[in-house]
Amino acid sequence: MDRANLDLTDRNGIITGAGQGIGRALALEFGRRGGHLLLVGRQEQTLSETARMVAAEGGTADILVEDLTRDGAVERVAAAVASWSVVDLLVNNAGNVRAGRLELTSNADVHSMIDLNLTTPILLTKALLPALRRSAADRGSILLNIASGIALVGMPFYSVYAATKSGIAQFGESLRREVFGSGVHVATVYPGATDTAMMTSQSAGAELGWERRSLEDVITDVIAALEAGEHEINTAPESRRAVQQLNITDPLAVDASIAPNLEALELAVRDHRSI
Ligand SMILES: NC(=O)c1ccc[n+]([C@@H]2O[C@H](COP(=O)([O-])OP(=O)(O)OC[C@H]3O[C@@H](n4cnc5c(N)ncnc54)[C@H](OP(=O)(O)O)[C@@H]3O)[C@@H](O)[C@H]2O)c1
């Protein structure tokens, strides 16, 4: 795989879910490098705060208040950058989660996760791909999809979320091959549990397979990997790497290792909801 270094300076592009967490942290990284960004999310206040923080770091940012799952949202995002001469960054970051037994998960929550975590980034990528291709001539364009470590090791009580995250990961792999040679750099991030607002309603720890890392450490890894030209960016803590490997060679051994803790795990994650 081509591992040419990527220049992250002066990028012009879109970051979804930029009002907090991983999206905000990535906005600050691109802002610090002189980026001009469109920050998208539902809450004006947090987006405006991120825009101010981006400006303080030396970048510039517009905001677009939008529920990305609503009809026409993707078209409105594309329209907001239609006049930009360069769009060489798209970060599909906005995402939500609802944990719990599948049969106790409401259909509305199933649809919400699939809509935001899978359908939205696919449609947004489709809408922006012509601009990303056009803007790739010089230094290449970047398409960054935020998947999850759960795409590598499916965890109980997260079947729908896992489906969306492995879906977006496979979307990226397939598209990376489709756009080969175009200059569009398709990268997928697999964050393990990361200390953000998304995780406040979940209390599973390392003993249940959910060791957390700080947002700062995860973002440091993501930026370093992107700069190094990586396509598959795994920010899992060391403790998860062996499980990820075992899941490739002997997945039933992973089932067996999780089974004794199933009850404790259900208890720790049953209120996990960020929808
Ligand atoms: N934290 C983790 O442990 C972890 C691990 C693996 C993967 N991830 C993934 O990383 C990404 C970011 O997660 P995070 O931890 O930073 O989550 P977070 O703190 O909950 O932030 C999610 C962001 O998405 C935005 N958002 C939610 N629903 C939206 C909608 N319908 N339309 C537009 N924007 C919406 C939110 O902003 P508004 O409220 O303003 O809309 C918020 O800025 C997600 O895709 C998540 O699945 C996180």
Quickly state the pLDDT bin for 3 (edges 50, 70, 90). Answer: low
- Measured CA angle at 140 (ends 129, 17), to 5 deg: 55
Q: Which of 158, 161, 171, 190 is catalytic?
A: 161
Tell me if residue 43 falls in helix, strand or coil: coil
Residue type, 272: H
Alpha carbon of 193 to ligand 1 centroid (Å): 13
161 is catalytic: yes
Answer positive or negative: Cα dihedral of 131, 184, 174, 29. negative
Instruction: Specify the long-range contacts of residues 114-117, CB closer than 8 Å, at least 24 apart.
Output: 114/160, 114/163, 114/164, 115/69, 116/68, 116/69, 117/161, 117/164, 117/165, 117/167, 117/168
Q: Considering the entire predicted model, what is its pTM?
A: 0.97
**Residues in the ligand 1 pocket, defined by CB under 6 Å:** 16-17, 19-23, 41-43, 46, 67-69, 93-96, 116, 146, 148, 191, 193-194, 196-199, 274
Percent of the chain scoring above 90 in pLDDT: 97
pLDDT per position as a tens digit, 123-163? 999 999 999 999 999 899 999 999 999 999 999 999 999 99
Whole-angstrom distance, CA of residue 128 vs CA of residue 133: 9
**Average confidence (pLDDT) over 1-15:** 87
pLDDT per position as a tens digit, 27-78? 999 999 999 999 999 999 999 999 999 999 999 999 999 999 999 999 999 9
What ranges do the domains of the chain cover?
12-269
**Average confidence (pLDDT) over 112-118:** 98
Alpha carbon of 142 to ligand 1 centroid (Å): 20
Name the DSSP letter for residue 51.
Answer: H
Quickly state the pLDDT bin for 1 (edges 50, 70, 90). Answer: very low
- Residue 261's pLDDT is 96
Average pLDDT, the chain: 96
- Residue 4's pLDDT is 80
Name the DSSP letter for residue 116.
Answer: I
Tell me if residue 19 falls in helix, strand or coil: coil
Half-sphere exposure of 128 toward its Cβ, with a 13 Å CA cutoff? 35
Burial class (CB in 10 A: 0-12, 13-18, 19+), 236: buried
Alpha carbon of 207 to ligand 1 centroid (Å): 25
**Average confidence (pLDDT) over 189-198:** 95
Tell me if residue 233 falls in helix, strand or coil: strand
Q: Which residue in this structure is represented by tokens 């051994």?
A: 253
Burial class (CB in 10 A: 0-12, 13-18, 19+), 101: exposed
Question: If you classify domain 12-269 with CATH, what class do you get?
Answer: alpha beta
Among 23, 9, 1, residue whose Cα is nearest residue 191: 23
